[in-house]
Amino acid sequence: MFVNNQWYVAGWDHEIDRSPLARVICGEPIVLYRKFDRTVVALHDACPHRLLPLSMGIKEGDNIRCRYHGLLVNSEGQAVEMPIRGERVHKSICTKVYPTVERHRFVWIWIGDAEKADAGQIPDFWPCSHPEWTFDGGYYHIHCDYRLVIDNLMDLTHETYVHQGSIGQHEILDAPIETHAEGNHVTVTRWMPGIDAPPFWRNALKKDGPVDRWQICHFLAPSSVIIDVGVAPVGAGATVEKHDQGARGFVIDAMTPESATTSHYFWGMARNFDIHDAGFTARFKKQQGGVFMEDVAVLEAQQRSISANPDLKLKAFSIDTGGVRARQVISRLIDAQGAKQLSDG
Amino acid sequence: MFVNNQWYVAGWDHEIDRSPLARVICGEPIVLYRKFDRTVVALHDACPHRLLPLSMGIKEGDNIRCRYHGLLVNSEGQAVEMPIRGERVHKSICTKVYPTVERHRFVWIWIGDAEKADAGQIPDFWPCSHPEWTFDGGYYHIHCDYRLVIDNLMDLTHETYVHQGSIGQHEILDAPIETHAEGNHVTVTRWMPGIDAPPFWRNALKKDGPVDRWQICHFLAPSSVIIDVGVAPVGAGATVEKHDQGARGFVIDAMTPESATTSHYFWGMARNFDIHDAGFTARFKKQQGGVFMEDVAVLEAQQRSISANPDLKLKAFSIDTGGVRARQVISRLIDAQGAKQLSDG
Amino acid sequence: MFVNNQWYVAGWDHEIDRSPLARVICGEPIVLYRKFDRTVVALHDACPHRLLPLSMGIKEGDNIRCRYHGLLVNSEGQAVEMPIRGERVHKSICTKVYPTVERHRFVWIWIGDAEKADAGQIPDFWPCSHPEWTFDGGYYHIHCDYRLVIDNLMDLTHETYVHQGSIGQHEILDAPIETHAEGNHVTVTRWMPGIDAPPFWRNALKKDGPVDRWQICHFLAPSSVIIDVGVAPVGAGATVEKHDQGARGFVIDAMTPESATTSHYFWGMARNFDIHDAGFTARFKKQQGGVFMEDVAVLEAQQRSISANPDLKLKAFSIDTGGVRARQVISRLIDAQGAKQLSDG
C-alpha cells in the first residue's frame, strides 16, 4: 500500500522544534524533535520499556525522558538511564530511529531500511529554497488515500467543477495536454502559446500583451506533485524545456500517507516574482488554502464512496492519463519491494 | 438479510424534488431526484468515472453533472458527455438505475433485478391516497434491524409499557387476538364488540353509545405494517371483514432497511373523519411522532442488547405470534432467493 | 483474558440501591439492584423475552418488569408473569443470576460457575470496614486493560514522573524493594527505617522525630491491589510483619475488567488516624482522585500505543518485578481454566 525505502515529508521546517511532535507516517507512530544543533530526531513513538508514547515525555537536553517511569532515551533511540538506584540499562533496549534530512523548507523522513537512506533521492523541490524565489504554504490532515490526491493534482481539468466558485476556468478544458513518463517521473504538460494573460499573471508579469502560458505537472515518486505554472511574453523564447523569461511559480504538494485512508497534505506556492511582497504571500496562502479545502471536501467524499463500494472500479478518461501513469509508478515500486521481500525471505 | 426483488419506500413524495437526495437502501447508496416531468430518478450514488457521489453533483436539466470532473450522467444512468475537447463517452459507462414508482404519497424503489419490477406488487396503501381520506406523517432514521420494528407493530400489547406515559391502556391486554397468515400477508385482529368508546374515538364518531372497536394489524411483505383501527356504533353492522360504518383510521408504517442495524422508518396516519381539519392533522402528527419516538428509544436499546448478546435467542409468547409469522414470511422470501441464486449459479 | 470463577467488585455499596444499575463486567452486561431486605441482586441485563435491557425496566417490589412487553422477572432471574390474559410463563424462561456478596463497603460479584461461589475467597479488604478505621474513595471508568493498572500500582517509582506535579518524590527511587510471591498473593515491600517523616505523615502521627516508614503493595488475585503505607516512631517496635504502632493507611484499588481494553477502577484510602475528621476525608479523596486521574491519562495513552504497536513487547526492569509476578499469577489462573475447559470438554 505504501512505497518503502523512500523519503516522505514529515513536516514543515517550522513545525518541528525542541518539543516533541507526534505524527503517524505510513502507519508508523513517530516522534519528531530538534536537537540543540537544530538537526531533527525521528524515533518510533513508543518507549522501549512499557510503550508509552515518547512524545508525552520530558526533554532533557537532546534526550527524551519517558513520562511514565523515567527511562531516558537518547537521540539514537537507545535507553541510557533508568532512574532507580543500581538499575543498569543496555543500549540494546532501544526504539527505532528514522533517518531525517531537512531540505527545501521541509523535514524529510526515510521510511524503510535505514542503511539504504540516500539523501540524493529526496525529490528536488528547488524553488522552495532558491534565493531568488519565495515560498510559503500550509498543512491539512485529509481523510483519503494519498493516491486520490495525486490523481487530483495530475489532472487540472477538475478545477472547472471542484473550484467553480474560485479558480475554475472553462478555457482549460480546451487546451491539449501531453503526458510523458520516464522512470519514476511523470509529467503532464499544457502549453498555451500566444494567449491573453489572465489578470493574475498579467499582474505578476507587469507587462501587457500576448503571452505563452504553461502548466506542467510533475509527479515525483513516491508521493509529490509539483506544478510549474507561469507566463512569458510571446517572443521571449520560452519553451517547454526552458521558460524563465517571465513570471513563474511552482505549486508544491507533498502527500505523506498516514494510514490506508488518511494522509498528511503539505501544500504551498513558490514564485519568482514579487518575492519581497509579504502581503502578497499571505493573501495567496489564504486563497490557496481555500481552494485546496474545496479539494479536501471532494476527496474525502470520494474516499467514503470508494470504501462503500468495494466492487466498483475507478474508470479512466484521457484526462486521467497523468494520474494513471503516476499510479503505475507507485504500483511498480510496491511490486518490486514485494518481489524483493520474497527473494530475501 | 434483506429481501430482494421487492418494492421499498424510498421517501415521502415531498422529500424528493429537483435537487438530489442521497439515501442508502438495503446497503446500496442511491441518489434520488425528480425530472421536469416530475417522475423520479434513482441511480446508484457513485459517478461511473471516479465514484464521487452523484448526489454532490450539479443538476443540468434532467441530467446530473459530477462535481469532480464534470461527467454528465443522464437519468438512465448513462455517461453522455465529458467536458474535454475530443473526449468521447460511451453509454456503456454507466451507473445502475433503479425502477421507481410514485404511489400513495410515497416514492417506491425496486431493489433487485430491474426487469422483474412489477408495479402491481407495490403494497396497497390505498387510504393514503383515497379522495375521501386524509393522510400525513413523518420520517425517523432508526438504529435497529427493520424486523424489530415489525415485531413491535405486530403486537400492540407493548403499548401498555412502552407508551405508559402516552397512549398505554391496560384494557388492551384483556382483548383476545386472532392471527392469520396467507401467502405474504399476516393479520393480527383484535375485535372488541359492544364497549364504551374511548374519548378519541367518541370525538371521531361524534356520537355517544356503545361501539364495536377494532385493531387489525396487516404485515405486507417485505417490510410494511398498516394497522386498521376504528369504531362503529353497535348495530351498524360492522364486521371484521367490512367496517366502514363509523370512524376509521390506518396507522401506516413502512420500514426500509438501510443496513443490518439501521432503518428508515416512514410513519403516518390516514383517516376518514374530520378530513378537512388541518389543525387535527397537525396535532395528531405531533402526538404520533412523540409516541413513535418512545418506540425508537426501546427498539434501539433492544438492538444494542441483541448485538451485545450474540448467543441469546429471542423468545416468543402468544403476543408475538403476529411478529413470528411476519418473520417467517421474510425468512421464506430470503431462503427462496438464496435457492434461486444457487440454481442459477 | 479474564480470570473466571472469581469475585470482582461490581460497585460501591452506595452506588447500588432499589433502582437498577447497568454495568458490563468481564464482557457480560449485568443489572444490579437491592431488594427490600437490602441484599443485592445481579442479573444478566437482558429480558429473557426480547432482550431489552432489564435495567430499563420498572421495579415492582423485589422483581423487575420489562419496559417493553411487561414480562415480570423475579430476583432469581425467572419469568413469573406475562400481563396477557391466559398467558402462562414457566420459570425455565429466565435470565442468568450472579452470586453477590456485600463486604468491606463494596458489592462483589462472582463471574463463573455460580455453584462454585465461595464468599471465603473474597479479597480481604479489612481496613475498609474495621470499626477503628475510616474509608472513602471514588470510581473511574478507564480505557485500558485492567492489567496495566495493576502494573502501575505494583511499582510506585512511576510517581516521580506521572505525579511530578503532585505527589512525586525523588527519594522513593533510592529505597530498595523486596518482592515476594506466594500462591495468588504478591507483595512488594519498601521499608525505610529511621528517616525524617514527610509532612503528611508527621501530621498524621502528631509527633516529631525520626520514623520507620513503609510502603507495601499487595496484589490480590484476580485484580486488586492494596497498598499498606505509614510511619511509626523509631524504637516503637514496628516490623515488616507487624506495624500498628503509628499512623497507617491502605490505598485501596480494585480493577474490574469491562472489556479487553476498558475497566472499572474503584479506588480509595482507609486510615487509622483522624478517623472522625470528615473534612480530612473529603480533602484527601479529592486529592487522591486528582492523582489517580494523572494515572488514567498515562494508562489510556499506554493502551492506545499498545493497540497501535501489536508487534512490540513490553520490557521489564527491576522495578517491574511486582507487576510481572502479578501477571504471572493472572496468566496461571487463565491457563488453568483453559486446561480445565479442555479436560471437561
Question: What interface predicted TM-score (ipTM) does this complex get?
Answer: 0.90
Residue A77 distance to chain C (closest CA, Å)? 15
User: Mean of the per-residue pLDDT values for chain B?
Assistant: 94
CA C296, CA C305: separation in Å to the nearest integer?
14
User: pLDDT confidence of A177, banded at 50, 70, 90?
Assistant: confident
Render A227-242 in DSSP notation, one character per residue: EEEEEEETTS---SS-
Contact C47, C73 (CB under 8 A): yes
Which region, left, alpha or beta, applies to residue B25 given φ > 0 means left and ψ of -120 to 50 means alpha?
Answer: beta
Contact A323, A213 (CB under 8 A): no
What lies within 8 Å, CB to CB, of A3 at 6+ separation is: A221, A222, A223, A330, A333, A334, A337
| A205: exposed, middle or buried (Cβ count in 10 Å: 0-12, 13-18, 19+) | buried
Residue A160 distance to chain B (closest CA, Å)? 8
> Given C298, C302, C308, which is nearest A29 (Cβ)?
C308
CA B69, CA B87: separation in Å to the nearest integer?
12
Does pLDDT of C171 surpass 90?
no
Which of A51, A56, A90, A95 has the most C C-beta neighbours within 10 Å, making it the best mutation to test the interface with C?
A51
Mean pLDDT score, B44-53: 97
Residues A36, A37, A43, A47, Cα dihedral to 10°: -30
| B211: exposed, middle or buried (Cβ count in 10 Å: 0-12, 13-18, 19+) | buried
- Model pLDDT for residues B81-129, shown as the tens digit of each residue: 998 777 888 889 999 999 999 999 999 999 999 999 999 999 999 999 9
- For residue A35, the model assigns a pLDDT of 98
User: What's the pTM value of the predicted model, to 2 decimals?
Assistant: 0.92
| C62: exposed, middle or buried (Cβ count in 10 Å: 0-12, 13-18, 19+) | middle
- How many other CB atoms are there within 10 angstroms of residue B304's CB atom? 17
Tell me, what amino acid is at B85? R
Q: Give the position of cell 496562502.
A: A285
Residue of chain B minimizing CA distance to A148: B50
Pick the closest to residue A156 from A275, A251, A233, A240 (CA basis).
Answer: A251
Tell me, what amino acid is at B27? G
- The Cβ-side half-sphere exposure at C3, using a 13 Å CA radius, reads 24
Contact B101, B16 (CB under 8 A): no
CB contact under 8 A, A84 and C319: yes
- For residue C344, the model assigns a pLDDT of 66
Percent of chain C whose predicted confidence (pLDDT) is above 70: 96
Beta bridge partners of C271: C134, C249
Does pLDDT of A342 surpass 90?
no
Cα three-residue angle B32-B33-B35, rounded to 5 degrees = 145
Q: Chain B partners of C30 at a C-beta cutoff of 8 Å?
A: none
User: Mean of the per-residue pLDDT values for chain A?
Assistant: 94
- E strand or H helix at A140: strand A134-142
CB contact under 8 A, C319 and A68: no
Does pLDDT of B344 surpass 80?
no
B190-199, B234-243, C177-186: range with lowest mean pLDDT: B190-199
Contact B91, B79 (CB under 8 A): yes
Does pLDDT of C340 surpass 80?
no
Contact C29, C46 (CB under 8 A): yes
- How many other CB atoms are there within 10 angstroms of residue A37's CB atom? 6
CB contact under 8 A, C158 and A83: no
- For residue C168, the model assigns a pLDDT of 59
Beta bridge partners of C103: C106
Pick the closest to residue A251 from A136, A132, A124, A123 (CA basis).
Answer: A136
Phi, then psi, of C231 in degrees rounded to 5: -140, 155
User: pLDDT confidence of C169, banded at 50, 70, 90?
Assistant: low
Residue C212 distance to chain B (closest CA, Å)? 52
> Given A51, A69, A87, which is nearest C305 (Cβ)?
A51
Mean pLDDT score, C285-313: 96
CB contact under 8 A, B298 and C85: no
Q: Chain B partners of A319 at a C-beta cutoff of 8 Å?
A: 69, 82, 84, 87
- For residue C318, the model assigns a pLDDT of 87
A224-233, B159-168, B223-232: range with lowest mean pLDDT: B159-168
Render B265-294 in DSSP notation, one character per residue: EEEEEEESSSTT-HHHHHHHHHHHHHHHHH
Mean pLDDT score, A51-79: 97
Pick the closest to residue B263 from B224, B291, B289 (CA basis).
Answer: B224
Q: Which strands sit side by side in the sheet containing C100-103, from one edge to the other? A: C6-12, C106-111, C100-103
Residue of chain B minimizing CA distance to C87: B318
Omega before C99 within 30 of 0, i.e. cis: no
- The Cβ-side half-sphere exposure at C92, using a 13 Å CA radius, reads 3
CA B144, CA A93: separation in Å to the nearest integer?
50
CB contact under 8 A, B87 and A319: yes
> Given B161, B305, B317, which is nearest C46 (Cβ)?
B305
CB contact under 8 A, C93 and B315: yes
Q: Chain A partners of C158 at a C-beta cutoff of 8 Å?
A: 68-69
Write a three-state SS string for chain C: CCCCCEEEEEEEHHHCCCCCEEEEECCEEEEEEECCCCCEEEEECCCCCCCCCHHHCEEECCEEECCCCCCEECCCCEEEECCCCCCCCCCCCECCECCEEEECCEEEEEECCHHHCCHHHCCCCHHHCCCCCEEEEEEEEECCCHHHHHHHHCCHHHHHHHCCCCCCCHHHHHCCCEEEEECCEEEEEEEEEEECCCHHHHHHHCCCCCEEEEEEEEEECCCEEEEEEEEEECCCCCCCCCCCCCEEEEEEEEEEEEECCEEEEEEEEEECCCCCCHHHHHHHHHHHHHHHHHHHHHHHHHHHHHHHCCCCCCCCCHHHHHHHHHHHHHHHHHHHHHHHHHHHC
- For residue C163, the model assigns a pLDDT of 84
Percent of chain C whose predicted confidence (pLDDT) is above 90: 85
Q: Chain C partners of A259 at a C-beta cutoff of 8 Å?
A: none
CB contact under 8 A, C29 and B305: yes
Contact A308, B29 (CB under 8 A): yes
- E strand or H helix at B32: strand B28-34
Mean pLDDT score, A165-189: 81
Q: Chain C partners of A29 at a C-beta cutoff of 8 Å?
A: 305, 308-309
Measured between alpha carbons, how far apart are the two ends of chain A, in Å? 19
| B339: exposed, middle or buried (Cβ count in 10 Å: 0-12, 13-18, 19+) | exposed
Residue A339 DSSP SS3: helix
Cα three-residue angle A168-A172-A175, rounded to 5 degrees = 175
Omega before A131 within 30 of 0, i.e. cis: no
Mean pLDDT score, C59-69: 97
Does pLDDT of A345 surpass 60?
no
Residue of chain C minimizing CA distance to B164: C67
CB contact under 8 A, C302 and A93: no
> Given C155, C301, C317, which is nearest A52 (Cβ)?
C301
CA A12, CA A26: separation in Å to the nearest integer?
17
Pick the closest to residue B218 from B242, B183, B189, B249 (CA basis).
Answer: B189
Contact C317, A58 (CB under 8 A): no
- For residue B94, the model assigns a pLDDT of 96
A290-294, B150-154, B165-169, B190-194: range with lowest mean pLDDT: B165-169
- For residue A173, the model assigns a pLDDT of 62
User: pLDDT confidence of B159, banded at 50, 70, 90?
Assistant: confident
Q: Give the position of cell 526552458.
A: A242
- Model pLDDT for residues A296-310, shown as the tens digit of each residue: 999 999 999 999 999
CA B168, CA B147: separation in Å to the nearest integer?
22
Residue C143 distance to chain B (closest CA, Å)? 18
> Given C161, C301, C317, which is nearest A87 (Cβ)?
C317
Q: Which three cell numbers stand for residue A218?
A: 510533475
A185-189, B88-92, B242-246, C48-52: range with lowest mean pLDDT: B88-92
Q: Chain A partners of B58 at a C-beta cutoff of 8 Å?
A: 161
Q: List the subunits that have 3+ CB pairs under 8 angstroms with C.
A: A, B
Tell me, what amino acid is at C32? L
User: pLDDT confidence of A156, banded at 50, 70, 90?
Assistant: confident
